[in-house]
Chain A
Amino acid sequence: MTHLDPDRDLLPFLFDELEDDSRARVAAHLRECPSCARETAALRALANALPRALAPTPDAMASARARLERSLAPQRPTPKIRSRDRFVLTSATLAAAAILILLLRPHVDLAPPALPASLQALDRQAISRFILDRLPRLPLVKERTGA
């Protein structure tokens, strides 16, 4: 009895690469030939073991993923302000600054500076809030990545 050829018959049979008639021929031979059946069983066991043997271990996967996450963080797009919105923002900031100067001006010219009691009570945070409260709410536009 002529045995099956690994390249032409056994491996293509195991990896489902044969046409129907060839597949039937190999299957029929394997039923009759213990030697080829053993050979096929060994190859099949190896083929079945390979995906499990070659998969990364969970700890390696977790470690690689954590490192990738750290690398990706700086890659992420930051929200970008459109030029029209930037113009509005700049104008509003200038307007707020002008209001603040007008409010403070009479006192800035005096020496020593003497702010009205209401403004003297304002600290840096309060002034910032004062300005920010007068800025329009601007929509932030997400940058198209990779475009």
Chain B
Amino acid sequence: MSESDEEYIAAFLRGDELAFRELLERYQEPVLGLLQRMTRDRQAAEDLFQEVFLKVFRQVASLRDRTRFRVWLFRIAVHQARRFFEQHKRMADMSVADQSIGQEPDVVERDDLLARVRDAVELLPERQREVVVLRAYQGLSYEEIAEALGVTAENARANFYQGMKKLKRDFGPETGEPA
């Protein structure tokens, strides 16, 4: 049976490096997924992925409530992605206008519905995109999202609904078809 986040953190702080690896295994995919969707740039997401986990490695000892590790981790990831996004905002805006965000999509992937859903998420306004990723992909509650993003739970909920409705307008007929 797997340990809780706080047990892994305690073990890591006692010097058990494997415990850090367990945390990494648990959260690497959600964090990279979040960073990719938020930065809309695979290379940048990988850079930030390193930054996030190096920060965790160095700063987890300062986390007071270890039961909130997941939210703390996503808050770090969101913060890193926002910094990147601000630094590259102009470039990103131009990319949006060109419909050529991030790296060139794989030819095979381009025909895939999932790839188009992914692209549509990346075209959502920043706050809606953050909330959709955290709620629909990471499964965070509105309260957790509020804590991670520094907004109210109601704001998180409203942005989630707005984002979902916009995605549905773009993909409703296709995703509505039976698989």
Q: Which residues of A contact B (CB under 8 A)?
A: 6-7, 11, 15, 38-39, 41-43, 45-47, 49-56, 60-61, 63-65, 67-68, 71-72, 75-77, 142-147
Contacts and interface: CB of A to CB of B under 8 A. Distances in A.
A6 B29 contact: no
B78 to A, nearest CB: 15
A75 B175 CA distance: 45
Contacts, number: 121
A11 B135 CA distance: 12
Contacts of B176: 38, 41-42, 45
A64 B12 contact: no
B62 to A, nearest CB: 8
Nearest to B139: A51
Nearest to A40: B176
A65 B50 CA distance: 8
B133 A147 contact: no
Given A54-B133, A146-B12, A60 B61 contact: no
Contact of A143 (B15, B57, B118, B165): B15
Given A41-B176, A61-B28, A53 B50 contact: no
A49 B113 contact: yes
B164 A11 contact: yes
B18 interface: no
B70 interface: no
A115 B117 CA distance: 82
Contacts of A61: 28-29, 32
Contact of A54 (B15, B24, B121, B160): B121
Q: How large is the interface on B (under 10, 10 to 19, 20 to 34, 35 or more residues)?
A: 35 or more
B36 interface: yes
Contacts of B168: 42-43, 46
A123 B122 CA distance: 68
Top 3 A-B residue pairs of the complex, sorted by shortest distance between their CB atoms: A146-B61, A42-B176, A45-B175
A56 B33 contact: yes
A42 B175 contact: yes
B36 A72 contact: no
Interface string B132-168: 1101110000000000000000000010110011011
A65 B49 CA distance: 8
A145 to B, nearest CB: 6
A52 B61 contact: no
Contacts of B50: 64, 67-68, 71
